[in-house]
């Protein structure tokens, strides 16, 4: 069987539309760059789709495994407690979802964190403003 990857990009959400727009654009960039991957964005609060709604969006896509990726810079309560609980993850950060009557493994990635790519982006923003 051929594997088909799904990516669940998880955003915080906000009452203001900008947060949703940013996370959705990031998910769209991933999908455009990796056309063989199914990408869905879901939000913790104040934005839609919710995580449950985003997961339901994998129905009919044929995904065989999913990586859940928090689009957050650093860990906090949502990252360490809320999201793992919602996704039903074990202590290693993995679990299973049922999609179209099939068990689909899901593993949870780390937040973006400190990375040279983030540092390059910060410097790019400095150059833009100056």
Catalytic residues: 12
Q: 83-89: list long-range contacts, CB under 8 Å, 24+ apart.
A: 83/10, 83/44, 83/51, 83/108, 84/108, 86/51, 86/52, 87/51
Cβ neighbours of 79 (radius 10 Å): 18
Q: What distance in Å separates the CA atoms of residue 48 and residue 31, rounded to the nearest whole number?
A: 19
Beta strand 38-43 with 5-11 is parallel
């Amino acid at each position: 069987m051929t594997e088909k990857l799904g990516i669940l990009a998880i955003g915080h959400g906000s009452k203001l539309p900008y947060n949703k727009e940013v996370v959705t654009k990031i998910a769209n960039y991933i999908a455009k760059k990796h056309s063989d991957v199914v990408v869905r964005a879901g939000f913790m609060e104040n934005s839609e789709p919710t995580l449950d709604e985003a997961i339901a969006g994998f129905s009919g896509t044929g995904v065989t495994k999913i990586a859940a990726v928090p689009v957050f810079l650093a860990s906090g309560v949502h990252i360490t407690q809320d999201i793992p609980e919602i996704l039903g993850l074990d202590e290693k950060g993995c679990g299973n979802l049922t999609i179209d009557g099939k068990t689909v493994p899901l593993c949870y990635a780390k937040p973006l964190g400190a990375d040279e790519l983030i540092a390059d982006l910060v410097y790019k923003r400095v150059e833009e403003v100056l």
